[in-house]
Each structure stands twice: as C-alpha cells, then as structure tokens.
Structure 1
Amino acid sequence: MVIASLILSGCALPRSGPNKNEIYAGAVERGGNTNIIYVNDHVARAANYQPSYGFGADFLNAAPVQADDIRPGDTLGLQIWENVDDGLLASLGQSSTQLQTLQVDSQGYIFVPYAGRVKASGNSPDSLRRIITDRLASQTPDPQVLVTRVAGDGATVSVGGKVTGQGVYPLERPTRTLSAMLAKAGGVAIDPEIAVVTVKRGNATGKVWLKDLYANSRNDIALRGGDVILVDEDQRSFTALGALGGQTKVPLGSEEVSAIEGIALVGGLNSSIADPTGVFILRDEPESVARRVMGNPSLYGTQRFAYVLDLTRPNGLFLARDFLIRDGDTVYVTEAPFTQFSKVIAAITGAANSARSIEAVGTN
C-alpha cells in the first residue's frame, strides 16, 4: 500500500522545478501564453537583439558651449578708466574706478553706474566691454573698460555616484566635455569594465558604457550648465535555475554572454540530474524581435518566449554558443526523466526498509 502510494505521488517528490512537459503545457498552441521555440540558426540570428546604451540626438548634436560666454550667476569684475581728471565714476585724483562684485542676475543683467542695466549673459567679456564703452562714451570722453569674470558659478555640472570626487564643478573651457568633467572629478572609483555613465539634462537622459565613451569620440558629448552626471555599476543580470551547478543571479557586465557561457558561469549542467535536451531561455521579447523570430508581422506588443536548446543535437552546442543572453533572462535546465524515477525508487526502497525495521521491532 505504501509502495503504490509513493508511485502515484511520484510527481510530488522534491525537484528543482517544472519538467519539460509542464513547460510545454503553457504553450500558445495549448491555450497558454508562451511561445515555445526550438533554437535554430534563424532563431539565433533573429533573437540576438542587444539593447545598447547611447545618447540621443539632442545630446550628440549639441555643440560645445563657449566657455567665455557670461551666464546668469556669474560674478564679474569691472574697471573703468576715464580720460579726465574729474570723471563720472573715479574719485578725486584717480583716473580709474574698479568694481569687483557685479553679480549677473537671473535674467542675465548687471547694473553699471551711468551705463544703466546692461545685458551681460550671452556675451563674452570682450563684447560686454564694448557695450559698456559705448554706453559711457556719451557721458565721459574716451572711456576705457576692462571686464573680467571673477567666478563662473552660473554654469555648473553635478558629478555623483562611483567617482573619486563627487561634487559640483564649474563648466569651464577645459571641462566642456563628458570625459574631461569625469577626469576633473578624479575618474571612476569602480572597475571601468562595468562602469556606466548616465547624463541627465532636464527631462532627457542618456547613458553610455565608460569603455564606449573612450572608444568612440562621438560619445564624448558636450556638457551644458545644470547637467547631472552619475557613474554606477552596470545592473544587467540573468537568473540561473534548475539542474545547474549553481542557482543564482549572475551579473552580465559589459560583455556579450552566450547561452553556453552563461551555463558555464554557474558551474555548467549538473551531470547527476540535468537533461541536456531541456535547456530553456525564458524572456519577454519586444514586438520587433518577436515578429522576426516568429515570421509574423501581425504580432502586437511584448511576447513571452521560452527558447529551447537541445545540446544533444549535432549542432546543439554551436547554437548555444551563438544564442546571446540578455538582461532579465532566466536560464532554466530541467531534470532528466530518470531523475524523478530514481527518486521514486529511492523513496520506495527507503519506505520498504523502514517497514521491515518496524516489523523487526514489533517481533522482538
């Protein structure tokens, strides 16, 4: 009676997860919502879409700012020479007047005595010098004006995350690009191979691998006042479950990882229980990829896929080598059919031995 019960309840014995038939039961053809697809050369090519980091056109097409341009928030120094002994601004016996703390207001203006409210922002110090000179020329003969920028805190960039020196840095001539600003902040404080740089500008956001920033000069975008730069570790990963050497969440890093490499990263197939014909890659495919894989242009929206790799086929290992893992994937390996049978036999043997032990105790 005990033996019959164990045979009938064999499916309830401990195991690492669903078997192949249970996964196939969720196929679209059987009323489920999962597309069960055996991987072949076409599928491997069609599914190998790798989302990449990068900046949009707004970032890439922005020209470097003119570091000499005056901006709201800047502090200017102003010195004026007058060609008369008793000038408009100079003290008695002095030929020049020096004003060191002219703050450019939020609308971009400064106030200069006898010249009035002058638009400073958008002008270089030299062009502002000419404007003030023209304003004063009608009131004092041959004025000479010198304009300097004392501080440039009107245009700053915030740098945070995994960098050596977090802080707010002025946008100056040497630091007008992303790579230069990162260098100003002391560089990244993590492994450059896994570093991702994100730039936030208003409502727009772009990101790039650090290695791609230096590999392609186009990614070295021009910065703007108010930009926020964040450096962090890449968060992409996949999950490995089932009859594998380990069950864990695995970071992808910046490199492309194939299915065979992903399996190797967790210790390979468990040789005692794994079914090499039941290697599944579970993911949600975007509409464009789903249409290519299925050859069906009428598919709409994100589709759920279970890709099947049969490593025992003549080219099974090659297909596993060519099929790329993506962020968020689940790699699941089913147990071999005999494994559950072995568990049933072990349970039966154990139950029989227990029964005999109980009988022996009762007869003593």
Structure 2
Amino acid sequence: MKIVTTRRALLTGLSATLLTASCGLPRPGPNKREIFAGSVMRQGDAFVVKVNDFVTRETAVQPALGFSSKFLNAGQLGSDTIRPGDTLSLTIWENVDDGLLANKGANATQLQQVQVDGAGYIFVPYAGRIKAAGNTPDGLRRVITSKLDAQTPDPQVLVNRVAGDGATVSIMGAINGQGVYPIERPTRTLSAMIAKAGGVSIPAEVARIIVKRGTQSESVWLKDLYDNPKMDIALRNNDVILVEKDQRAFTSLGATGAQARVPFETQTLSALEAIATVGGLQSNLADPTGVFVFRNEPAEIAMKVLGRTDLVGDQRMIYVLDLTEPNGMFLARDFAIRDGDTVYVTEAPFVQWQKTLSALTAPLGTANTLNNLAGN
C-alpha cells in the first residue's frame, strides 16, 4: 500500500513538474485550450465559432468593386467633338473676286492655328465670337457659314480639327506606359485607353483600376472590366486612371510553412488556399484539428452567424476548422479568407510534451557527458 501511494505521489509530482516546465517552453502562440478559454461563453471577449456549411455561406462576403450609374451612364464622347484647348484650321471660300477675307486675286482664305479658348469660343473675322466647344467640325462649319452669309454671297467654309489639347486623361501606377493621353476615336473607353498605354504591368488577377473624375473616385477589378462589358465606361476630359496592385493581405502564424503577412494573389481566397500559399501545415508540428481564423467581423454578419440581434459594431470572431473531419477539407475550401484575417494553426499536443521531456532530460544528458569526460 505504501509503495502504491509513493508511486502516485511520484506520478503527481512528475506531472506537475512537466506542466510547470511546459508553461515556460517556447511556442508559436496559444494552444487550443487557451483559445477556447477566451470565448465569450467563458467570460472572454471573442466569439469562437465552429465552421460549417451555414457559416461558410454567411461569411462569404467579398469587396464589391464597380462603377456607379453616374459613371456607367456617361455616353461616349464624339471623336470629332470640339473642346476648349483644341486647335482648328478654317478655310473660307467666297463667291466673289474681291471678298471680305481673301487677298486680291484669290477667293480662298486660310485661318491656321485657331485656338479654342477656355470658355470654348473662337473669333472669326466678320463672323465675330462663335461658340465652338460642343460642336462637331461640320456643326461649326454651318454656324460660321450662317454668320458670313450676311456679309458675303454664298460663302463656303471648311473646318478641320487639327489637335485636341483639351480632351486628355492621365494614366499612372502599374501600367507599362504612364503618361497623358488624348481621347481619340479608338480610345474613348477605359479598356481601350489601358491598351493604348501598353497594358498593366502586374498580374491581371490582382490589378485594380481606379478612375478619378472630379471629386469622385471609383474602382473596378481589371478582370471584371474584361468579363463585363458594361464596366467599360466612357472616358471624360481630365479623368485620372490609376492602376494598382490589390492591397489586401492575411497573416499566417503558428505551425504553418511561413510566418508572414501574405498578399492576396487572386480576387477570392479560401482557407485551404491560404494554407497552401504559405507552404501548408508543418507535418511534424501542426494540429490539423486546430486551424483558427481570427477576424473582426461586421455586426450584421456576426449576428447572422450567431443568431443574435443585439450586437453593435465589429465583433471579435474566431472561426475553427477541423481538417480531420469527413468534410473538413471541403469546409476549408469553401470558407473565404478576407482582408486582415489571421490564419493560425496550433501545435499538436504531443509537440509540447516532447519539448517538455527534452527540457527535463537535457540536463541529465549533460551531466552524464561531464561525468564520462571526468572519468577519462
């Protein structure tokens, strides 16, 4: 009886020693027990939720990019529409030998480099100040002809648009040809202008196109621009087009192949893809039953997931994935990772025991080595 009691005391002491030793050992983060201890159900400040099909559906929210009706409904600019800053060339024929404008012995007059002023007007001798902006060359021809008709019999007018300094867009960012480009007949839409500038210099899957028009700024994914012709908006004078790489990222921690902040490489990213992106789980360390996703969830989504109606503001949510369950891999494939998420994989329980035993037995091994050296 005394021997049994002694053994129990030894085992209890050993367990206490192991537990105490394990608390001070290095590790990548909390274990499953510690994470669950932080649950609201245990007076913590985070909701711990096991992922199932319902949770994957309710949390599958991705940033929706696209243009508003104001951008979508803007019609294309006519390629011949005259704008402030344009330069025109006028040729005027008069049906008399001694006309108003022509030199003696000639019946045609050329007015080169006629600049459309900032208010959109030009000056034509004997016709006066005429509104040119908003007209086509043919429309302006008719206006000038009408004005001169009272001054000289049967005038004939030819109007050419020489250059368009007013209708331009600026393109910058991850584009092969940054610069200022005129809006011309082939480049009146967003996709055409991007092509004119040499296309984007980053993978299309992570390219975001931002269009700033006045005080309004809107954006679209490049892939959506190509897949949905409706998003190929007409451009306007002074539009600024910025091409930038997707700024979204998640953080990988714990027993994964990398501890890092990882940028998104596609528009959508699942938990399974996120794990694969960082090299998968470390087979000698990871606990496949302890894959956690930490997130600040908007109240409207959190209330759907939790079946509550009393939450206000972002909620701390911890989603739990167990890859060993029959459908665990499917759930990980369907669960969407969002910008700012932290994917954390706990270590397997036996790993901490191994570390503890190694910590306890290492001094004994060192002592034996020293004794052997002393005996020699």
SS of structure 2 residue aligned to 1:344: helix
Matched, 1:165 2:177: yes
Q: Give the aligned residue type for 1:280.
A: F
Give RMSD over aligned pairs.
2.4
SS of the residue 1:45 aligns to? helix
Report whether the alignment pairs 1:327 with 2:332. Answer: no
- Mapped to 2, the partners of 1:27 and 1:117 lie a distance apart of 77
Secondary structure at the residue paired with 2:89?
strand
Q: Choose from 314, 327, 332 the match for 2:326.
A: 314
After superposition, residues 37-186 of structure 1 pair within 5 angstroms as 37-186=49-198
- CA distance in structure 1 between the partners assigned to 2:167 and 2:180 by the alignment: 10
Judged with a 3 Å threshold, the aligned counterparts in structure 2 of structure 1 residues 186 and 17 are, in CA distance, closer, same or farther, namely same
1:70-114: CA deviations, max 9, x gaps? 111111111112222222222222212111111111111111122
Distance 1:292 1:332 in 2: 24
Task: Report the residue type matching 2:157 in the other structure.
Answer: V
Worse-superposed segment, 65-74 or 296-305:
296-305
Q: Identity of aligned pairs, percent? A: 61
For 1:73 and 1:264, the matched residues in 2 are separated by 55
1: distance between equivalents of 2:300 and 2:140? Answer: 54
Once residues 233 and 174 of structure 1 are traced to their aligned partners in structure 2, the CA distance between those partners, rounded to angstroms, is 26
Find the counterpart in structure 2 of residue 340 from structure 1: 352
**Shift of residue 308 of structure 1?**
0.7
Q: What is the rounded CA distance, in whole Å, between the counterparts of 1:269 and 1:191 in structure 2?
A: 27
Task: State which drifts further: 293-302 or 340-349.
Answer: 293-302
Q: Deviations over 1:288-346 (max 9, x none)?
A: 32232222234222222111112233322221122122222211001122222221111
Cα separation, partners in 2 of 1:265 and 1:115, compared to 1, 3 Å: same
Letter in 1 for 2:54: H
Query: Among 278, 281, 292, which residue is 2:304 paired with?
Result: 292
- The answer to whether 1:225 aligns with 2:257 is no
Deviates more, 1:43-52 or 1:18-27: 18-27
TM-score (ref. length: structure 2):
0.89
2-structure distance, mates of 1:6, 1:363: 32
> What one-letter code is carried by the residue in structure 2 that aligns with 1:213?
L
Counterpart residue type for residue 337 of structure 2 = I
Structure 2 counterpart SS, 1:293: helix
Partner residue, 1:196: 208
| Structure 1 portions without partners, runs of 5+ | none
1:237 matched to 2:249? The reply is yes
- Structure 1 window deviating more from structure 2 (300-309 vs 248-257): it is 248-257
Q: Secondary structure at the match of 1:221?
A: coil
Query: Distance between the aligned counterparts of 2:182 and 2:351, measured in 1?
Result: 65
Checking the alignment, whether the CA contact within 8 Å between 1:209 and 1:254 is kept in structure 2 is no
Q: Return the match for 1:23 from 26, 32, 35.
A: 35
Mapped pair 1:36 → 2:28: no
Which residue identity lines up with residue 159 of structure 1 in the other structure? I
Tell me the amino acid that sits aligned with residue 110 of structure 1: I
Instruction: Please report how far the alpha carbon of residue 284 of structure 1 lies from its aligned counterpart in structure 2 after TM superposition.
Output: 1.9
Cα drift, residue 215 of structure 1: 1.6
Cα 1:298/1:353, change in 2 over 3 Å: same
Counterpart CA distance in 1 for 2:45 and 2:151 is 83
Q: Which runs of 4+ in 1 moved over 6 A?
A: 3-6, 359-364
The alpha carbon displacement at 1:4 in A equals: 7.7
Number of residue-to-residue matches in the alignment: 364
- Tell me by how many angstroms 1:243 deviates: 0.8
Q: Distance in 1 between matches of 2:304 and 2:77?
A: 43
* SS of the residue 2:85 aligns to: coil
Correspondence list, 1:263-278, <5 A:
263-278=275-290
TM-score normalised per structure 1: 0.91
Residue in 1 that maps onto 2:264: 252
Do the aligned residues in 2 keep the contact of 1:236 with 1:253 (CA within 8 Å)? no
